[in-house]
């Protein structure tokens, strides 16, 4: 999910992912010869631009669809300029301009990423808050078939909440940078096991299309779904014969506690099991959980089935189905 922002004076338009799992703002620079399909920022045209004259290199794995890359990289420089989004005045923002990038980013449908992290200094969201915006956001990350996804800054879209119960879950007191909640259990169709009956921190990431859990958690969930799910490739992906998908009705439940200490279950419905066929093997479908880092990241597989409220003011997140 991505939307339009404006950078510089006069403004130059870019499409960016509003990423709750990041603190950084990153868009392509005019000098980036490898940024073929993306809009590029022309610093010479902006009267409010300033350059910190610092360059950086970053390497990481991506997770936006089938066949996640083993390693992608960016070269970028630190700069500052005015940034605005529809309906809000421009604010000065420290950000990064991409000067070179690896192949995996060429086909991305968006130009860059704007961090919306929790309490993290320097993110686009925190910069808006410092300028007087109420520290709360609402996300309606609808499936592609539904369309009309939206983000509300400084409040929520009350029309999306009419007739719905909102479950509020507190954010741990030490949280910084990530929107995280404490889960007491994972389960599949109500069934769990020793690995899944553990207290763990879950990070909610609007910039992640699916789910990414530690390997033991990933395989414990898949063991409850189907023995035909197996590791596929070298990047933490798993797959199942596409012919098996229709026969599997596996709902994944994540349990939390609300502000009164009562259990709240957030569910990922069975239709999320398959991300789609692998590009190099059309008979195998990638499943929705990748085994990766030690942390638990929850993205679109869950978020697109709820209206989510990201309430920094009251240190909580809300979910309405």
Q: How far apart are CA 15 and CA 40, in angstroms?
A: 11
Judge whether 258 counts as a catalytic residue: no
19 three-class SS: strand
Model confidence pLDDT, tens digit, residues 292-302? 889 999 999 99
Judge whether 29 counts as a catalytic residue: no
pLDDT at 62 (0 to 100): 53
pLDDT at 104 (0 to 100): 67
What's the predicted TM-score (pTM) here? 0.93
**CA triplet 225, 226, 232: central angle to 5 degrees?**
110
Across 12-35, b (16+ Cβ under 10 Å) vs e yields bebbbbbbbbbbbbbbbbbebeeb
Q: How far apart are CA 241 and CA 227, in angstroms?
A: 11
pLDDT at 148 (0 to 100): 87
Model confidence pLDDT, tens digit, residues 193-214? 999 999 999 999 999 999 999 9
**Which domains does the chain show, CATH number per domain?**
2-133 (2.40.70.10), 157-320 (2.40.70.10)
| Ranges under pLDDT 50 in the chain | 64, 69
Q: How far apart are CA 141 and CA 116, in angstroms?
A: 15
pLDDT at 3 (0 to 100): 93
Active-site position among 19, 24, 94, 167: 19
Active-site position among 29, 111, 167, 205: 205
pLDDT at 69 (0 to 100): 42
């Amino acid at each position: 999910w991505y939307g339009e922002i404006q950078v510089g004076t006069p403004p130059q338009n870019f499409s960016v992912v509003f990423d709750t799992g990041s603190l950084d703002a990153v868009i392509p620079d005019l000098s980036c010869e490898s940024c073929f399909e993306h809009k590029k920022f022309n610093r010479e045209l902006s009267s409010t631009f300033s350059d910190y004259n610092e360059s950086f290199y970053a390497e990481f794995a991506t997770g936006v669809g089938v066949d996640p890359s083993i390693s992608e990289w960016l070269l970028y420089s630190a700069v500052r300029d005015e940034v605005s989004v529809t309906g809000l005045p421009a604010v000065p923002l420290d950000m990064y301009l991409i000067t070179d990038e690896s192949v995996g980013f060429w086909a991305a449908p968006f130009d860059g990423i704007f961090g919306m992290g929790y309490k993290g200094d320097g993110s686009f969201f925190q910069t808006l808050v410092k300028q007087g915006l109420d520290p709360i956001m609402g996300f309606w990350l609808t499936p592609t078939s539904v369309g009309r996804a939206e983000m509300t800054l400084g409040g929520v879209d009350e029309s999306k909440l009419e007739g719905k119960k909102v479950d509020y879950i507190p954010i741990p007191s030490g949280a910084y940078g990530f929107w995280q909640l404490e889960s007491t259990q994972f389960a599949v169709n109500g069934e769990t096991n020793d690995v899944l009956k553990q207290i763990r921190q879950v990070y909610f990431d609007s910039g992640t299309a699916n789910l990414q859990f530690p390997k033991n958690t990933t395989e414990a969930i898949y063991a409850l779904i189907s023995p035909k799910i197996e590791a596929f490739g070298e990047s933490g992906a798993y797959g199942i014969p596409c012919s098996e998908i229709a026969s599997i009705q596996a709902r994944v439940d994540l349990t939390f506690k609300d502000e009164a200490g009562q259990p709240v279950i957030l569910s990922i419905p069975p239709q999320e099991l398959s991300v789609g066929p692998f590009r190099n093997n059309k008979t195998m479908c990638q499943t929705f959980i990748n085994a990766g880092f030690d942390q638990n990241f929850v993205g679109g597989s869950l978020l697109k089935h709820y209206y989510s409220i990201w309430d920094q003011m009251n240190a909580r997140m809300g979910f309405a189905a």
